[in-house]
Amino acid sequence: MSQTTNPGQGDAPLTGGMLWAAAIILAAANFIAVLDMTIANVSVPNIAGGLGATTSQGTWVITSYAVAEAITVPLTGWLAARFGAVRVFVVAMALFGAFSALCGFANSLGMLVFARICQGFAGGPLMPLSQTLLLRIFPKEKAAAAIGLWSMTTLVAPVLGPILGGYLCDEYSWPWIFYINLPIAFACAFIAWKMLKRYEQPLQKSPIDRIGLVLLIIWVGALQLLLDEGKNLDWFSSPEIVALAIVAVVGFIAFLIWELHEAHPVVDLRVFRHRGFSASVLTISLAFAAFFGANVLTPQWLQSFMGYTATSAGMATAWTGVFAVFVAPIAATLSHRVDPRKLVFGGVIWLGLVTLFRTIATTDMDYWSVSVPLMLMGLGLPFFFIPLTGLAMASVDEHEMASAAGLMNFLRTLSGACATSLITTLWDDQITYHHAELVGLSDSDQSVRTLLENSGMTADAVLQSIDRLITGQSVMLATNQIMAWVGVAFIVAAMAIWLAPKPQRVVDASASGH
């Protein structure tokens, strides 16, 4: 990322208060792009109910945004060079606001998913470009302070997302989780153009890998559709799922072959020749998939079966981010002094152990019994993200850093989207399985039925009460089982980091545009 300023003729570089005002605008853009990753997590039951969809179908609102964003992140460098970083940023910001409005206006799940895909396409460039432009407008000696501001928005947004999403759903309605983006997006776009157009750099007419891009969209889209629709269509007994699987596999193989032989690939797969980068990407993909999947499942469980409102579910899950914000500066400092592999291993193992501890959850848990393990997870998160990003960037050559950052962000985001689909599908399947098992085992001596009938309940009311009890226990068993699998995934991810050699240089984690 260039740190060279290039103000247009007659335009002096920004200084003082104007410089920090521009920094706040860029940080705000990054904030809403990250916020929209988590604000819908606690809102899925409300959205599904409002649009007449199942909760598992409601998770498409999360996965569609994540997949679309993942696809556009690797394109950001080419877009910025071809059309100008400031222009792309401003247009993406304005489109993000427009598609947020479209999300709020949606009156069907199909329309909402389409709008979320468009919103994800617009949001993808915002995170890397907001950081690129910060480094461009700030003098080198103040760059660290600017990146500190940017990093805080990256950490705070996931904390506020569930709280804000829950509050807006409970007090107003789910469309407001999208409407709140409008004033920020349009104000940021207008002010950013007025303040930053002087920093636009000469354009480069570099070629775009059109075939690679089409292949990328085809195999990623087919894979996500397969994961989202598999349960509804009974997996591989359905011709549609078989066709999607074939398209995904063939598209992926064709994509690999093409990208390895293309002079200007949309995704530079050659960076995987660096063992440190490959191990880092494997670790971050596994661990982020585990974390993101559990993070989506928790508020659904709390709202659907534990009697939580969207607000209280958001407050409970936000504790993870609160603790992460406080620990992040310590992790950043240590990442320059300690072997990052040790920090990553310790952080991810901690996440795995806390998740395994969550497998003893019961239906009688109170708010703090739910929240304390989530707080403890926040202590491990910064030791996973910050050193791992620096390790990945330190493993590649200088000229490959931009490509490596784009590829790592793509795989991280895609793994989160895939994990969301898999975990919610497995959760539903396990609930059904445990319910069937418990029906055959419960109340074999008819004592509960007799007790309820003697209390004056009708036969139908007795059956409903027993079914409610069985369903509650089935959900709890399924949730604990999913958490066990997630915990194991964390531990496997922690082991994977030792495949990386000890880094020979240190790179600031902020250089990746995560």
Distance of CA 513 to the CA centre of its chain: 15
User: What are phi and psi for residue 4, nearest 5 degrees?
Assistant: -85, 125
- When pLDDT is averaged across residues 451-462 and rounded to a whole number, the result is 68
Q: What is the pLDDT of residue 489?
A: 94
pLDDT digits (tens, 9 = 90+) for 40-70: 777 888 888 888 877 777 778 888 888 888 8
Q: What is the pLDDT of residue 247?
A: 92
For residues 379 and 203, the model is more confident at: 379
10 falls in which pLDDT band (50, 70, 90)?
very low
Q: CA 248 to CA 400: how far, in whole Å?
A: 28
| DSSP for residue 503 | P
For 325, the token pair is 């914000």
CA dihedral in degrees (363, 364, 366, 371; nearest 10)? -40
Please give the model's pTM, rounded to 2 decimal places. 0.79
Q: What is the pLDDT of residue 447?
A: 62
- When pLDDT is averaged across residues 237-241 and rounded to a whole number, the result is 84
Q: What is the pLDDT of residue 155?
A: 67
Q: CA 181 to CA 95: how far, in whole Å?
A: 11
Please calculate the CA angle 157-161-164 and round it to the nearest 5 degrees: 125
Task: Looking at mean pLDDT, say which of 298-302, 356-360, 442-446 comes out highest.
Answer: 356-360
pLDDT digits (tens, 9 = 90+) for 426-453: 898 888 888 888 876 765 556 666 666 6
Q: Assign 278 to helix, strand or coil.
A: helix
Q: What is the pLDDT of residue 491?
A: 95
pLDDT above 70 covers a percentage of the chain that reads 89
